[in-house]
Amino acid sequence: MAETLTAEQILDAAQDVLRRFGPSKATVVDVARALGVSHGSVYRHFPSKAALREAVTRQWLHRSHAPVAKAAGADLPAPERLRNWLATLFDTKRHKVLDDPELFATFTALVVENSTVVADHIADLTGEIARILRDGVAAGEFAPIEDVDRTARAVFDATARFHDPAYSGDWTRDGIDQAFDAVCVLILTSLTAQPGREVVQPH
Amino acid sequence: MAETLTAEQILDAAQDVLRRFGPSKATVVDVARALGVSHGSVYRHFPSKAALREAVTRQWLHRSHAPVAKAAGADLPAPERLRNWLATLFDTKRHKVLDDPELFATFTALVVENSTVVADHIADLTGEIARILRDGVAAGEFAPIEDVDRTARAVFDATARFHDPAYSGDWTRDGIDQAFDAVCVLILTSLTAQPGREVVQPH
DNA sequence: TGACTGACAGATATTGAAATCTGTCATCGC
DNA sequence: GCGATGACAGATTTCAATATCTGTCAGTCA
Protein backbone atom coordinates (compact mmCIF):
# COMPACT_ATOMS: atom_id res chain seq x y z
CA MET A 1 0.00 0.00 0.00
CA ALA A 2 2.86 2.34 0.88
CA GLU A 3 4.51 2.38 -2.57
CA THR A 4 2.78 3.53 -5.72
CA LEU A 5 1.30 0.86 -7.98
CA THR A 6 3.67 -0.62 -10.59
CA ALA A 7 3.10 -2.57 -13.78
CA GLU A 8 5.01 -5.49 -12.25
CA GLN A 9 2.68 -5.69 -9.28
CA ILE A 10 -0.30 -5.72 -11.61
CA LEU A 11 1.33 -8.39 -13.77
CA ASP A 12 1.96 -10.60 -10.75
CA ALA A 13 -1.54 -10.13 -9.42
CA ALA A 14 -3.01 -10.83 -12.86
CA GLN A 15 -1.02 -14.04 -13.06
CA ASP A 16 -2.34 -15.04 -9.67
CA VAL A 17 -5.93 -14.27 -10.52
CA LEU A 18 -5.61 -16.23 -13.75
CA ARG A 19 -4.25 -19.22 -11.87
CA ARG A 20 -7.00 -19.04 -9.31
CA PHE A 21 -10.03 -18.27 -11.44
CA GLY A 22 -9.03 -19.55 -14.85
CA PRO A 23 -8.92 -17.64 -18.12
CA SER A 24 -12.68 -17.28 -18.57
CA LYS A 25 -13.49 -15.96 -15.10
CA ALA A 26 -10.49 -13.74 -14.37
CA THR A 27 -11.57 -10.10 -14.62
CA VAL A 28 -9.80 -6.78 -14.37
CA VAL A 29 -11.94 -6.04 -11.33
CA ASP A 30 -10.57 -9.21 -9.70
CA VAL A 31 -7.02 -8.09 -10.34
CA ALA A 32 -7.71 -4.68 -8.85
CA ARG A 33 -9.42 -6.27 -5.85
CA ALA A 34 -6.39 -8.51 -5.28
CA LEU A 35 -4.21 -5.40 -5.16
CA GLY A 36 -6.64 -3.39 -3.05
CA VAL A 37 -7.04 -0.67 -5.68
CA SER A 38 -9.81 0.42 -7.98
CA HIS A 39 -9.93 -1.14 -11.43
CA GLY A 40 -9.42 2.30 -12.95
CA SER A 41 -5.86 2.21 -11.63
CA VAL A 42 -5.10 -0.90 -13.62
CA TYR A 43 -6.02 0.98 -16.79
CA ARG A 44 -3.35 3.55 -15.95
CA HIS A 45 -0.70 0.88 -16.64
CA PHE A 46 -2.37 -1.29 -19.26
CA PRO A 47 -4.55 0.09 -22.03
CA SER A 48 -6.94 -2.86 -22.02
CA LYS A 49 -7.70 -6.22 -20.51
CA ALA A 50 -6.35 -7.83 -23.68
CA ALA A 51 -3.03 -5.99 -23.31
CA LEU A 52 -2.72 -7.13 -19.70
CA ARG A 53 -3.40 -10.72 -20.64
CA GLU A 54 -0.93 -10.47 -23.48
CA ALA A 55 1.76 -9.21 -21.11
CA VAL A 56 1.09 -12.12 -18.75
CA THR A 57 1.28 -14.53 -21.67
CA ARG A 58 4.56 -13.12 -22.88
CA GLN A 59 6.13 -13.30 -19.42
CA TRP A 60 4.94 -16.83 -18.79
CA LEU A 61 6.14 -18.07 -22.15
CA HIS A 62 9.50 -16.44 -21.63
CA ARG A 63 10.00 -17.87 -18.14
CA SER A 64 8.94 -21.38 -19.01
CA HIS A 65 11.26 -21.42 -21.98
CA ALA A 66 14.42 -20.97 -19.91
CA PRO A 67 15.38 -24.69 -19.59
CA VAL A 68 15.01 -25.17 -23.33
CA ALA A 69 17.12 -22.15 -24.19
CA LYS A 70 19.78 -23.65 -21.92
CA ALA A 71 19.73 -26.89 -23.91
CA ALA A 72 20.31 -24.87 -27.08
CA GLY A 73 23.63 -23.61 -25.74
CA ALA A 74 24.90 -26.92 -24.34
CA ASP A 75 28.45 -27.99 -25.15
CA LEU A 76 27.69 -31.03 -27.30
CA PRO A 77 28.04 -32.12 -30.92
CA ALA A 78 25.24 -30.54 -32.95
CA PRO A 79 23.24 -33.74 -33.58
CA GLU A 80 23.13 -34.58 -29.86
CA ARG A 81 22.46 -30.96 -29.09
CA LEU A 82 19.49 -30.82 -31.48
CA ARG A 83 18.10 -34.04 -30.14
CA ASN A 84 18.56 -32.80 -26.62
CA TRP A 85 16.92 -29.49 -27.42
CA LEU A 86 13.88 -31.17 -28.95
CA ALA A 87 13.64 -33.63 -26.06
CA THR A 88 13.88 -30.82 -23.51
CA LEU A 89 11.16 -28.86 -25.30
CA PHE A 90 8.92 -31.91 -25.23
CA ASP A 91 9.72 -32.94 -21.66
CA THR A 92 9.26 -29.54 -20.04
CA LYS A 93 5.86 -29.14 -21.68
CA ARG A 94 4.81 -32.63 -20.85
CA HIS A 95 5.76 -32.12 -17.23
CA LYS A 96 3.71 -28.97 -17.12
CA VAL A 97 0.57 -30.80 -18.24
CA LEU A 98 1.14 -33.65 -15.83
CA ASP A 99 1.99 -31.46 -12.84
CA ASP A 100 -0.97 -29.15 -13.15
CA PRO A 101 -3.35 -29.77 -16.03
CA GLU A 102 -5.62 -26.88 -15.09
CA LEU A 103 -2.81 -24.37 -15.02
CA PHE A 104 -1.58 -25.71 -18.33
CA ALA A 105 -5.07 -25.31 -19.79
CA THR A 106 -5.22 -21.75 -18.50
CA PHE A 107 -1.99 -20.73 -20.12
CA THR A 108 -2.76 -22.63 -23.28
CA ALA A 109 -5.95 -20.59 -23.55
CA LEU A 110 -3.93 -17.41 -23.08
CA VAL A 111 -1.43 -18.48 -25.69
CA VAL A 112 -4.16 -19.31 -28.20
CA GLU A 113 -5.77 -15.88 -27.86
CA ASN A 114 -2.43 -14.12 -28.41
CA SER A 115 -1.27 -15.15 -31.85
CA THR A 116 1.24 -12.30 -32.02
CA VAL A 117 3.02 -13.55 -28.93
CA VAL A 118 3.04 -17.05 -30.36
CA ALA A 119 4.52 -15.89 -33.65
CA ASP A 120 7.33 -14.12 -31.79
CA HIS A 121 7.96 -17.15 -29.63
CA ILE A 122 8.07 -19.47 -32.63
CA ALA A 123 10.56 -17.12 -34.25
CA ASP A 124 12.76 -17.46 -31.15
CA LEU A 125 12.47 -21.24 -31.18
CA THR A 126 13.30 -21.65 -34.86
CA GLY A 127 16.16 -19.22 -34.30
CA GLU A 128 17.62 -21.58 -31.70
CA ILE A 129 17.22 -24.53 -34.04
CA ALA A 130 18.88 -22.56 -36.85
CA ARG A 131 21.84 -21.81 -34.60
CA ILE A 132 22.34 -25.49 -33.86
CA LEU A 133 22.05 -26.31 -37.56
CA ARG A 134 24.65 -23.69 -38.52
CA ASP A 135 27.04 -24.91 -35.83
CA GLY A 136 26.56 -28.48 -37.01
CA VAL A 137 27.21 -27.63 -40.65
CA ALA A 138 30.29 -25.60 -39.71
CA ALA A 139 31.64 -28.53 -37.67
CA GLY A 140 30.93 -30.97 -40.51
CA GLU A 141 28.46 -32.83 -38.31
CA PHE A 142 25.56 -31.98 -40.57
CA ALA A 143 25.50 -32.10 -44.37
CA PRO A 144 25.45 -28.68 -46.03
CA ILE A 145 22.03 -26.98 -45.84
CA GLU A 146 20.75 -24.74 -48.60
CA ASP A 147 18.35 -22.59 -46.59
CA VAL A 148 19.04 -22.97 -42.87
CA ASP A 149 16.08 -20.89 -41.70
CA ARG A 150 13.64 -22.84 -43.78
CA THR A 151 15.11 -26.14 -42.63
CA ALA A 152 14.95 -24.96 -39.03
CA ARG A 153 11.29 -24.21 -39.52
CA ALA A 154 10.82 -27.64 -41.09
CA VAL A 155 12.39 -29.29 -38.03
CA PHE A 156 10.05 -27.25 -35.85
CA ASP A 157 6.99 -28.14 -37.95
CA ALA A 158 7.91 -31.83 -38.14
CA THR A 159 7.98 -32.05 -34.34
CA ALA A 160 4.77 -30.07 -33.80
CA ARG A 161 3.09 -33.19 -32.49
CA PHE A 162 5.47 -33.02 -29.52
CA HIS A 163 5.38 -29.37 -28.61
CA ASP A 164 2.07 -27.95 -29.76
CA PRO A 165 -0.38 -27.76 -26.83
CA ALA A 166 -3.13 -28.81 -29.24
CA TYR A 167 -1.70 -32.32 -28.89
CA SER A 168 -1.14 -32.23 -25.13
CA GLY A 169 -3.82 -34.86 -24.66
CA ASP A 170 -1.63 -37.34 -26.53
CA TRP A 171 1.50 -36.72 -24.48
CA THR A 172 0.52 -39.32 -21.92
CA ARG A 173 -0.42 -41.87 -24.57
CA ASP A 174 1.39 -45.16 -24.61
CA GLY A 175 4.25 -45.28 -27.10
CA ILE A 176 4.56 -41.52 -27.34
CA ASP A 177 8.28 -41.72 -26.53
CA GLN A 178 8.88 -44.20 -29.35
CA ALA A 179 6.91 -41.91 -31.67
CA PHE A 180 9.09 -39.01 -30.60
CA ASP A 181 12.27 -41.03 -31.11
CA ALA A 182 11.10 -42.15 -34.55
CA VAL A 183 10.56 -38.56 -35.68
CA CYS A 184 13.92 -37.52 -34.23
CA VAL A 185 15.68 -40.32 -36.06
CA LEU A 186 13.94 -39.30 -39.27
CA ILE A 187 15.12 -35.72 -38.86
CA LEU A 188 18.65 -36.49 -37.72
CA THR A 189 19.14 -39.07 -40.44
CA SER A 190 18.17 -36.45 -42.95
CA LEU A 191 20.52 -33.84 -41.52
CA THR A 192 23.50 -36.15 -41.14
CA ALA A 193 22.92 -37.91 -44.48
CA GLN A 194 25.66 -38.18 -47.04
CA PRO A 195 24.30 -36.84 -50.32
CA GLY A 196 22.69 -39.96 -51.82
CA ARG A 197 20.13 -40.28 -54.57
CA GLU A 198 18.52 -37.05 -55.67
CA VAL A 199 15.52 -36.12 -53.58
CA VAL A 200 12.27 -35.40 -55.36
CA GLN A 201 12.22 -31.66 -55.79
CA PRO A 202 9.18 -29.48 -55.18
CA HIS A 203 7.39 -28.92 -58.47
CA MET B 1 -42.91 -42.77 -48.12
CA ALA B 2 -43.84 -45.90 -50.06
CA GLU B 3 -40.78 -47.96 -49.09
CA THR B 4 -39.81 -48.84 -45.54
CA LEU B 5 -37.23 -46.64 -43.88
CA THR B 6 -33.60 -47.72 -44.32
CA ALA B 7 -30.40 -46.89 -42.44
CA GLU B 8 -29.00 -45.34 -45.65
CA GLN B 9 -31.90 -42.93 -45.93
CA ILE B 10 -31.39 -41.87 -42.34
CA LEU B 11 -27.66 -41.49 -42.90
CA ASP B 12 -28.23 -39.29 -45.94
CA ALA B 13 -30.81 -37.18 -44.14
CA ALA B 14 -28.53 -36.84 -41.12
CA GLN B 15 -25.71 -35.66 -43.35
CA ASP B 16 -28.04 -33.10 -44.87
CA VAL B 17 -29.29 -31.86 -41.54
CA LEU B 18 -25.72 -31.55 -40.28
CA ARG B 19 -24.74 -29.53 -43.34
CA ARG B 20 -27.72 -27.25 -42.95
CA PHE B 21 -27.85 -26.70 -39.21
CA GLY B 22 -24.29 -27.37 -38.11
CA PRO B 23 -23.08 -29.88 -35.54
CA SER B 24 -24.43 -28.13 -32.47
CA LYS B 25 -27.99 -27.58 -33.72
CA ALA B 26 -28.64 -30.76 -35.69
CA THR B 27 -31.04 -32.95 -33.69
CA VAL B 28 -32.50 -36.40 -34.15
CA VAL B 29 -35.91 -34.75 -34.33
CA ASP B 30 -34.66 -32.66 -37.27
CA VAL B 31 -33.50 -35.79 -39.08
CA ALA B 32 -36.84 -37.47 -38.52
CA ARG B 33 -38.69 -34.36 -39.68
CA ALA B 34 -36.60 -34.28 -42.86
CA LEU B 35 -37.70 -37.85 -43.57
CA GLY B 36 -41.30 -37.30 -42.59
CA VAL B 37 -41.19 -39.90 -39.83
CA SER B 38 -41.29 -39.78 -36.05
CA HIS B 39 -37.96 -39.60 -34.27
CA GLY B 40 -38.70 -42.94 -32.65
CA SER B 41 -38.21 -44.57 -36.04
CA VAL B 42 -34.68 -43.31 -36.23
CA TYR B 43 -33.89 -45.16 -33.00
CA ARG B 44 -34.97 -48.38 -34.67
CA HIS B 45 -31.89 -48.16 -36.91
CA PHE B 46 -29.38 -46.36 -34.70
CA PRO B 47 -29.09 -46.97 -30.97
CA SER B 48 -28.28 -43.35 -30.14
CA LYS B 49 -27.67 -39.91 -31.53
CA ALA B 50 -23.95 -40.45 -30.98
CA ALA B 51 -24.01 -43.67 -33.01
CA LEU B 52 -25.77 -41.89 -35.87
CA ARG B 53 -23.23 -39.08 -35.86
CA GLU B 54 -20.43 -41.58 -35.73
CA ALA B 55 -21.80 -43.38 -38.78
CA VAL B 56 -22.01 -40.08 -40.65
CA THR B 57 -18.44 -39.27 -39.64
CA ARG B 58 -17.15 -42.62 -40.79
CA GLN B 59 -18.88 -42.37 -44.15
CA TRP B 60 -17.71 -38.83 -44.76
CA LEU B 61 -14.13 -39.62 -43.82
CA HIS B 62 -14.13 -42.67 -46.06
CA ARG B 63 -15.57 -40.82 -49.06
CA SER B 64 -13.29 -37.81 -48.81
CA HIS B 65 -10.26 -40.05 -48.56
CA ALA B 66 -10.78 -41.62 -52.00
CA PRO B 67 -8.44 -39.29 -53.98
CA VAL B 68 -5.64 -39.83 -51.47
CA ALA B 69 -5.99 -43.61 -51.54
CA LYS B 70 -5.69 -43.35 -55.31
CA ALA B 71 -2.39 -41.48 -54.98
CA ALA B 72 -1.12 -44.30 -52.76
CA GLY B 73 -1.52 -46.78 -55.60
CA ALA B 74 -0.09 -44.62 -58.38
CA ASP B 75 2.49 -46.15 -60.71
CA LEU B 76 5.51 -44.07 -59.71
CA PRO B 77 8.86 -44.59 -58.00
CA ALA B 78 8.29 -44.73 -54.24
CA PRO B 79 9.85 -41.35 -53.37
CA GLU B 80 7.65 -39.53 -55.89
CA ARG B 81 4.71 -41.59 -54.83
CA LEU B 82 5.19 -40.71 -51.18
CA ARG B 83 5.60 -37.05 -51.98
CA ASN B 84 2.55 -37.19 -54.20
CA TRP B 85 0.52 -38.96 -51.53
CA LEU B 86 1.43 -36.37 -48.89
CA ALA B 87 0.72 -33.50 -51.29
CA THR B 88 -2.65 -34.97 -52.24
CA LEU B 89 -3.58 -35.40 -48.59
CA PHE B 90 -2.69 -31.77 -47.96
CA ASP B 91 -4.31 -30.39 -51.11
CA THR B 92 -7.64 -32.17 -50.80
CA LYS B 93 -8.02 -30.99 -47.22
CA ARG B 94 -6.96 -27.49 -48.06
CA HIS B 95 -9.48 -27.32 -50.87
CA LYS B 96 -12.20 -28.46 -48.54
CA VAL B 97 -11.54 -25.59 -46.14
CA LEU B 98 -11.36 -23.03 -48.92
CA ASP B 99 -14.43 -24.26 -50.78
CA ASP B 100 -16.72 -24.36 -47.78
CA PRO B 101 -15.23 -23.40 -44.41
CA GLU B 102 -18.49 -23.94 -42.54
CA LEU B 103 -18.93 -27.45 -43.86
CA PHE B 104 -15.31 -28.17 -43.03
CA ALA B 105 -15.87 -26.87 -39.49
CA THR B 106 -18.94 -29.06 -39.15
CA PHE B 107 -17.14 -32.22 -40.11
CA THR B 108 -14.08 -31.31 -38.12
CA ALA B 109 -16.33 -31.07 -35.08
CA LEU B 110 -17.77 -34.49 -35.88
CA VAL B 111 -14.32 -35.95 -36.32
CA VAL B 112 -13.12 -34.50 -33.03
CA GLU B 113 -16.00 -36.03 -31.09
CA ASN B 114 -15.35 -39.48 -32.58
CA SER B 115 -11.85 -40.42 -31.50
CA THR B 116 -12.42 -44.07 -32.32
CA VAL B 117 -13.18 -43.25 -35.95
CA VAL B 118 -10.10 -41.05 -36.08
CA ALA B 119 -7.88 -43.79 -34.68
CA ASP B 120 -9.14 -46.20 -37.34
CA HIS B 121 -8.64 -43.65 -40.06
CA ILE B 122 -5.10 -42.87 -38.92
CA ALA B 123 -4.37 -46.59 -38.95
CA ASP B 124 -5.52 -46.69 -42.59
CA LEU B 125 -3.38 -43.69 -43.49
CA THR B 126 -0.20 -44.97 -41.87
CA GLY B 127 -0.92 -48.31 -43.53
CA GLU B 128 -0.83 -46.61 -46.91
CA ILE B 129 2.43 -44.88 -46.03
CA ALA B 130 3.90 -48.17 -44.84
CA ARG B 131 3.00 -49.79 -48.15
CA ILE B 132 4.84 -47.09 -50.09
CA LEU B 133 7.85 -47.44 -47.79
CA ARG B 134 7.98 -51.20 -48.23
CA ASP B 135 7.71 -50.89 -52.01
CA GLY B 136 10.47 -48.29 -51.98
CA VAL B 137 12.82 -50.41 -49.88
CA ALA B 138 12.12 -53.46 -52.07
CA ALA B 139 12.92 -51.43 -55.20
CA GLY B 140 16.08 -50.04 -53.63
CA GLU B 141 14.68 -46.52 -53.82
CA PHE B 142 14.67 -46.14 -50.07
CA ALA B 143 17.41 -47.19 -47.66
CA PRO B 144 16.56 -50.23 -45.53
CA ILE B 145 14.12 -49.43 -42.71
CA GLU B 146 14.26 -51.19 -39.37
CA ASP B 147 10.64 -50.78 -38.30
CA VAL B 148 8.49 -49.77 -41.27
CA ASP B 149 5.29 -49.23 -39.28
CA ARG B 150 6.99 -46.97 -36.81
CA THR B 151 8.67 -45.01 -39.56
CA ALA B 152 5.36 -44.72 -41.40
CA ARG B 153 3.86 -43.28 -38.25
CA ALA B 154 6.80 -40.90 -37.94
CA VAL B 155 6.20 -39.66 -41.50
CA PHE B 156 2.55 -39.15 -40.61
CA ASP B 157 3.40 -37.34 -37.37
CA ALA B 158 6.04 -35.15 -39.00
CA THR B 159 3.50 -33.88 -41.53
CA ALA B 160 0.70 -33.31 -39.01
CA ARG B 161 0.97 -29.60 -39.57
CA PHE B 162 -0.33 -30.22 -43.11
CA HIS B 163 -3.15 -32.62 -42.53
CA ASP B 164 -4.45 -32.10 -39.04
CA PRO B 165 -7.60 -29.93 -39.08
CA ALA B 166 -6.33 -28.24 -35.92
CA TYR B 167 -3.96 -26.35 -38.21
CA SER B 168 -6.48 -25.60 -40.96
CA GLY B 169 -6.28 -21.91 -40.13
CA ASP B 170 -2.65 -21.90 -41.26
CA TRP B 171 -3.26 -23.58 -44.59
CA THR B 172 -3.94 -20.28 -46.30
CA ARG B 173 -0.92 -18.63 -44.72
CA ASP B 174 1.75 -17.22 -46.96
CA GLY B 175 4.70 -19.55 -47.44
CA ILE B 176 2.78 -22.64 -46.40
CA ASP B 177 3.75 -24.42 -49.62
CA GLN B 178 7.43 -23.77 -48.98
CA ALA B 179 6.98 -25.03 -45.44
CA PHE B 180 5.36 -28.18 -46.78
CA ASP B 181 8.12 -28.68 -49.33
CA ALA B 182 10.79 -28.20 -46.67
CA VAL B 183 9.28 -30.91 -44.48
CA CYS B 184 8.91 -33.23 -47.48
CA VAL B 185 12.55 -32.72 -48.41
CA LEU B 186 13.57 -33.44 -44.83
CA ILE B 187 11.61 -36.69 -44.84
CA LEU B 188 12.61 -37.84 -48.31
CA THR B 189 16.26 -37.01 -47.72
CA SER B 190 16.13 -39.17 -44.65
CA LEU B 191 14.49 -42.09 -46.44
CA THR B 192 16.73 -41.98 -49.51
CA ALA B 193 19.90 -41.32 -47.51
CA GLN B 194 22.97 -43.49 -47.97
CA PRO B 195 24.02 -44.71 -44.55
CA GLY B 196 26.23 -41.85 -43.34
CA ARG B 197 27.41 -40.96 -39.88
CA GLU B 198 25.71 -42.77 -37.05
CA VAL B 199 22.55 -41.07 -35.94
CA VAL B 200 22.20 -40.21 -32.28
CA GLN B 201 20.29 -43.11 -30.80
CA PRO B 202 17.44 -42.68 -28.34
CA HIS B 203 18.82 -42.98 -24.80
C1' DT C 1 -45.98 -59.81 -36.91
C1' DG C 2 -43.13 -56.11 -37.34
C1' DA C 3 -42.39 -51.34 -38.80
C1' DC C 4 -43.92 -47.18 -36.99
C1' DT C 5 -46.04 -43.82 -33.68
C1' DG C 6 -46.48 -40.53 -30.00
C1' DA C 7 -46.61 -39.69 -25.05
C1' DC C 8 -43.47 -39.56 -21.38
C1' DA C 9 -39.35 -38.73 -17.87
C1' DG C 10 -35.11 -36.88 -17.37
C1' DA C 11 -31.40 -34.31 -19.62
C1' DT C 12 -30.05 -30.37 -22.34
C1' DA C 13 -30.62 -26.00 -24.65
C1' DT C 14 -32.74 -21.37 -25.17
C1' DT C 15 -34.17 -17.06 -23.64
C1' DG C 16 -34.55 -12.68 -21.56
C1' DA C 17 -34.10 -10.04 -17.35
C1' DA C 18 -30.73 -8.88 -13.84
C1' DA C 19 -25.95 -8.62 -12.51
C1' DT C 20 -21.33 -7.86 -13.61
C1' DC C 21 -17.65 -6.25 -16.35
C1' DT C 22 -14.89 -3.07 -19.49
C1' DG C 23 -13.13 1.16 -20.54
C1' DT C 24 -13.65 6.38 -19.83
C1' DC C 25 -13.29 10.43 -17.43
C1' DA C 26 -14.37 14.25 -14.28
C1' DT C 27 -12.89 14.73 -9.73
C1' DC C 28 -10.23 14.05 -5.37
C1' DG C 29 -6.26 14.30 -2.20
C1' DC C 30 -1.40 14.40 -1.33
C1' DG D 1 0.89 17.83 -10.78
C1' DC D 2 0.19 13.15 -10.48
C1' DG D 3 -1.52 8.94 -9.15
C1' DA D 4 -5.73 7.14 -7.73
C1' DT D 5 -10.84 7.00 -7.44
C1' DG D 6 -15.60 5.72 -8.38
C1' DA D 7 -19.67 6.71 -11.10
C1' DC D 8 -21.18 5.87 -15.60
C1' DA D 9 -22.66 3.86 -20.52
C1' DG D 10 -22.52 0.12 -23.25
C1' DA D 11 -21.03 -4.70 -23.74
C1' DT D 12 -20.92 -9.17 -21.78
C1' DT D 13 -22.10 -12.75 -18.55
C1' DT D 14 -25.11 -15.16 -15.29
C1' DC D 15 -29.15 -17.40 -13.85
C1' DA D 16 -33.52 -19.36 -13.57
C1' DA D 17 -37.70 -20.28 -16.00
C1' DT D 18 -39.20 -22.27 -20.20
C1' DA D 19 -38.87 -24.99 -24.25
C1' DT D 20 -36.83 -28.59 -26.77
C1' DC D 21 -34.46 -32.79 -27.17
C1' DT D 22 -33.03 -37.77 -26.18
C1' DG D 23 -34.12 -42.31 -25.51
C1' DT D 24 -37.91 -45.67 -24.07
C1' DC D 25 -41.89 -48.23 -24.61
C1' DA D 26 -46.73 -49.53 -24.66
C1' DG D 27 -49.77 -49.37 -28.19
C1' DT D 28 -51.47 -48.70 -33.36
C1' DC D 29 -52.05 -50.16 -37.96
C1' DA D 30 -51.35 -52.66 -42.22
| pLDDT tier at A3, thresholds 50, 70, 90 | confident
pLDDT in tens, B4-56: 899 999 999 999 999 999 999 999 999 999 999 999 999 999 999 999 999 99
- Contact positions of strand C to protein Cβ (< 7 A): 3-7, 14, 20-26
Task: Output the pLDDT for position B195.
Answer: 64
Task: Output the pLDDT for position B198.
Answer: 52
Share of chain B above pLDDT 70, in %: 94
Do the Cβ atoms of A192 and A142 come closer than 8 Å?
yes
Task: Output the pLDDT for position A103.
Answer: 97
Task: Output the pLDDT for position A193.
Answer: 87
Judged against a pLDDT cut of 90, whether residue B114 lies above it is answered with yes
Task: Output the pLDDT for position A198.
Answer: 52
- Contact positions of strand D to protein Cβ (< 7 A): 3-7, 14, 20-26
Q: Which among A184, A186, A192 is the top mutation candidate for probing chain B, defined by the most B β-carbons within 10 Å of its own β-carbon?
A: A186
Contact A157 B185 (CB under 8 A): no
Question: B residues 64-83 near A, CB within 8 Å?
Answer: 79-80, 83
What is the phi/psi pair of residue A84, to 5°? -65, -40
d(CA B163, CA A167): 14
Check residues B196 and A117 and name the one with the higher pLDDT. Answer: A117
pLDDT in tens, A71-122: 999 999 999 999 999 999 999 999 999 999 999 999 999 999 999 999 999 9
Terminal CA-to-CA distance of chain A, rounded, Å? 66
Judged against a pLDDT cut of 60, whether residue A197 lies above it is answered with no
**Which chain B residue lies closest to A78 (C-alpha atoms)?**
B200
Mean pLDDT of B78-91: 98
Query: What protein residues sit with their CB closer than 7 Å to strand D?
Result: A 4-5, 24-25, 36-41, 44; B 27-30, 39-40, 43, 47-50
Interatomic separation, CA of residue B19 and C1' of nucleotide C1, rounded (Å)? 38
Q: Which domains does chain A have, with CATH numbers?
A: 7-57 (1.10.10.60), 65-192 (1.10.357.10)
Nearest-Cα distance to chain A for B5, in Å, is 40
Q: What kind and span of H or E run contains B97?
A: helix B78-99
Which chain A residues touch B193 with a CB distance below 8 Å? 189-190, 193-194, 196
Which chain B residues touch A159 with a CB distance below 8 Å? 158
DSSP 8-state secondary structure symbol assigned to residue B159:
T
Q: Which among A86, A90, A185 is the top mutation candidate for probing chain B, defined by the most B β-carbons within 10 Å of its own β-carbon?
A: A185
Nearest-Cα distance to chain A for B37, in Å, is 41
Nearest-Cα distance to chain B for A29, in Å, is 33
Mean predicted lDDT score pLDDT of chain B: 94
As a three-state string, the secondary structure of A151-201 is HHHHHHHHCHHHCCHHHHHHHHCCCHHHHHHHHHHHHHHHHHCECCCCCCC
pLDDT in tens, A34-66: 999 999 999 999 999 999 999 999 999 999 999
Nearest to B55 by CA among B110, B123, B119: B110
What is the phi/psi pair of residue B194, to 5°? -75, 140
Does the nearest atom of strand C lie within 7 Å of B4's Cβ? yes
pLDDT in tens, B141-182: 999 999 999 999 999 999 999 999 999 999 999 999 999 999
Q: What is the pTM of this model?
A: 0.93
Task: Output the pLDDT for position A199.
Answer: 55
Task: Output the pLDDT for position B3.
Answer: 75
Task: Output the pLDDT for position A1.
Answer: 41
pLDDT in tens, A9-32: 999 999 999 999 999 999 999 999
* Chain A 19-48, CB < 7 Å to strand C: 27-30, 39-40, 43, 47-48
Instruction: List, in sequence order, every residue forming a beta bridge with B194; answer none if it has no partner.
Output: A194
pLDDT in tens, A133-155: 999 999 999 999 999 999 999 99
Select from A155, A183, A197 the Cβ nearest to the Cβ of B154.
Answer: A183
Q: Which among B157, B161, B188, B191 is the top mutation candidate for probing chain A, defined by the most A β-carbons within 10 Å of its own β-carbon?
A: B157
Task: Output the pLDDT for position B128.
Answer: 98
Judged against a pLDDT cut of 60, whether residue A173 lies above it is answered with yes
Which chain A residues touch B192 with a CB distance below 8 Å? 196-197, 199
Check residues A197 and A34 and name the one with the higher pLDDT. Answer: A34
Question: Which amino acid is located at A68 in the chain?
Answer: V
d(CA B158, CA B167): 13
Residue B203, helix vs strand vs coil: coil
Contact B157 A79 (CB under 8 A): no
Judged against a pLDDT cut of 50, whether residue A176 lies above it is answered with yes
